[in-house]
Amino acid sequence: MKKIYGFLLLALIVINTGCKQDPPVLPANLRNTQLLGKWNLAFMQSEKYIDGDKEPDSSPLIGTANDYFIFEADNRATLSSTVYQKLFQGYYSANTAASTLAFKSGDLLIRYNVTALSITQMELVETINTNEAGSSVTIINYYTYNRLP
């Protein structure tokens, strides 16, 4: 009977140590080496449309030292935002043509269209469609980020 308890204890130890969760690995076509590094927000401009009618332009948001992305080689990413007033740790995916960029952290998922990407600057467009008080609302955010050395 003592042998059975020993065997069960050994089996339990093997099962618990063998169930380590591996970090997510994205396919190579969702990695873009052009993004690697730290990018500071230079400015953001928003446009808001309610039922297709454009609202007056809002003032652009000038980036601070707390508005940045950090993209790492293993697809880990950090987003710091004064708009969200939070630091997010997550993962990014970007196709090799760099026309799309997605950042995911927990329940937060942000998708961007990359309109320009060079060694020193990145321009992103984010489109948000919602319904507010029975009206169709579209918010388009235009971001310009500069690569930090």
Instruction: Please report the pLDDT score of residue 133 as a whole number.
Output: 86
Side chain identity at 39, as an amino acid letter? Answer: W
Give pLDDT tens digits for 2-19.
567 666 666 666 666 655
Residue 84 pLDDT exceeds 60: yes
CA torsion sign for 41, 45, 49, 55 is positive
Residue 96 pLDDT exceeds 80: no
Give pLDDT tens digits for 41-67.
999 999 999 999 999 888 888 999 999
- Which domains, ranges and CATH numbers included, belong to the chain? 30-147 (2.40.128)
Q: What distance in Å separates the CA atoms of residue 80 and residue 95, rounded to the nearest whole number?
A: 22
Distance of CA 17 to the CA centre of its chain: 32
Q: What distance in Å separates the CA atoms of residue 6 and residue 12, rounded to the nearest whole number?
A: 10
Instruction: Please report the pLDDT score of residue 25 as a whole number.
Output: 57
